[in-house]
Amino acid sequence: MASNNEYQTPFNSRYCTEEMKQLFSPRNRFSTWRRLWIWLAEAEKELGLAGISDQALAEMQSHIIIRDEEFALIEVEEKRRRHDVMAHVHGFGLAAPSAAGIIHLGATSCYVTDNADLIFLRDGLDLLLPKLATVIKKLSDFARKYRDQACLGYTHGQPAALTTVGKRTCLWIQDLLMDLRNIERSRSDLRFRGVKGATGTQGTFLSLFRGDHSKVEELDELVTKKAGFESVFTISSQTYSRKIDLDVCNSLGSFGATCERIFTDIRHSAMMKEIEEPFETDQIGSSAMAFKRNPMRSERGCALGRKLQNLPMDAMATYAHQWFERTLDDSAIRRISIPESFLCADALMLLLDNVMSGLVVYPAVIERRIAQELPFMATENIIMALSEVGVSRQEAHEEIRVLSHQAAAAVKLEGKDNDLLDRIRKQEFFNPIIGQLDQLLEPKSFYGRAPQQVDKFTGPGGEVESALAKYEDVIRKGGRVDLNV
């Protein structure tokens, strides 16, 4: 069983960072509740509410972090009361007896549960964003390195016009930049629920401050500031709107889809032996087939990406099924799906960083595959060259059509290499341009502006640089990558 400082989940492993596991751990959850009770009591005292002593606040402060032995006592109380928040109010009161009478004063359960969840959403996104920025930076460096490494493009799963390894990488980066933007927006949209009372009307706090509306508003703003939020919801029900969860989980789920798409490309590239993920000297690919180099990291990435992109459905259904000011059918599912969305996203960040830090490119294999297809792609160039020396385009088209079909049959029916160029060289019809053949088949003439597009996209003043500007320091301080993930 996981400790009270670790979230109990299938992701409890080296595949998630300790920071993310601890963020959603029982100890952090319930210690955050205690912080919220302290902030509320401090704010009430600062605004003149009587009965909150310095000793009470001091005792609360000295017991912010819930201890192991307290969990057992609180568990007994929860079984008795069937109410987790009241069990923890009781437990905190035992730890800080001078404060027992003022803990949770005027509040409803959602003051701690919901405000704590908003803190976890905020802090979780703050953990993920720099990791995503770091991955994008590493991919950007990789794209620039291979900006002009020609490779076959594929449409419909079939060889198409050439592109470059760097340009294809930019397709991944562009999608990750969209994820970065979506997650940043979800982070910036977060607000604190604040001090709102049972149905969000702040009625209990208005009573505490004897009808002084300005004091109630000050209380809301003061606790919000203590919690580190810039703004607070003006309107809430007993809970903050579950649409907030949906918004955050959607941004993470979209990132999960991006991960599956990228890792699928890597798996296909590995299948063709063009690009592979890191593979250690002593790594075993298969228990039966010793030669195997299975792309296990990318396969895991596809699995976790698929899981993450499905988790927003939990948040969507939960939001849609809320009644009026609240129902409790949201509680159990949120305690599972929200942490697992973040833990899954965190695991994917580690996988992306790991794989992108050690991608292996095999130019010789890539170029051999180009050589098998390029003669067919070059036929239009050959026809145009013949036309420039006075040969009829229609005649040139017919001659090369026949030879192309013959070469294709040799490849498909006899398993031979593409010998179209040899067939062309043997035909007197093509003598006027034989000396130009090598130039006409130069891969650089087939991938257009791919290298220049990479430069513009990833270079100074480009989209990547602009998006990563705020993360420069954290990227620069990035630690060593563990390729054993």
Q: Of 3, 62, 207, 286, which residue is the catalytic one?
A: 286
**Dihedral angle computed from the Cα positions of residues 280, 281, 283 and 285, in that order, rounded to the nearest 10 degrees:** 100
User: Using a CB cutoff of 8 Å and minimum separation of 24, what contacts does 214-222 make?
Assistant: 215/47, 215/48, 218/47, 219/43, 219/44, 219/47, 219/195, 220/194, 220/195, 220/196, 221/194, 222/43, 222/46, 222/47
Query: How far is residue 279's CA from residue 302's CA, in Å, rounded to a whole number?
Result: 18
Q: Of 13, 156, 214, 287, which residue is the catalytic one?
A: 156
Active site (annotated) includes residue 63: no
Of the candidates 87, 77, 81, the one whose C-alpha atom is nearest the C-alpha of residue 33 is 87
Beta-carbon contacts of residue 389 (< 8 Å; ≥ 6 apart): 432, 433
In which residue are the tokens 């031979």 written?
416
Contact by Cβ (8 Å): 150, 162 = yes
Active site (annotated) includes residue 213: no
In which residue are the tokens 């790594």 written?
283
Contact by Cβ (8 Å): 308, 345 = yes
Query: How far is residue 137's CA from residue 237's CA, in Å, rounded to a whole number?
Result: 42
Query: How far is residue 218's CA from residue 224's CA, in Å, rounded to a whole number?
Result: 10
Query: How far is residue 6's CA from residue 16's CA, in Å, rounded to a whole number?
Result: 11
Of the candidates 349, 248, 263, 280, the one whose C-alpha atom is nearest the C-alpha of residue 17 is 349
Task: Bin 283: left if φ > 0, else alpha if -120 < ψ < 50, else beta.
Answer: beta
DSSP state for residue 192 in the 8-state scheme = B
- Residues marked active site are found at 156, 286
